[in-house]
Amino acid sequence: MPDSVRDVFERHMPERLKNKPDVVAKINAVYQFNISGPSGGAWAVDCTAPGGAISAGQAPAAKCTVNCSDQDFLNIVNGKLNPQMAFMSGKLKIQGDMGLAMKLQQILT
């Protein structure tokens, strides 16, 4: 269970991408994560690269952008906050392709 946002992008998510190459290939798009708060930051998740690639910073060609606070993001990843409820209550904001946003759960949790 990741205990920090950095941990999600540096350890948890790369492992998930590696274990689900079929999901990565099906998604075939770039995500931008903008996480606010003291332990937040910006990360790009590239599912167009073989096996997926994660890098810190902004993705120039993101098809879906996720904006969330650090605490809410960790709660979603750790299964303490339902992503749909977070979206409906405004804790999770999505810009771009909503279809891609729906597929995120397969690589996040």
Q: What is the mean pLDDT of each run of 10 residues along the chain (109 residues)?
A: 92 93 94 97 96 95 97 95 94 96 86
Of 65, 63, 64, 42, nearest to 54 by C-alpha is 42
Q: Which CATH number is 75's domain given?
A: 3.30.1050.10
Domain, as residue range, for 42: 5-108
Query: How many structural domains are present in the chain?
Result: 1
Sign of the CA dihedral running 59, 54, 91, 27:
positive
On the CB side of 34, how many CA atoms lie within 13 Å of its CA? Answer: 11
Beta strands in 1-109 (DSSP E): 30-36, 41-46, 53-56, 64-69, 92-96
Instruction: State pTM to two decimals.
Output: 0.94
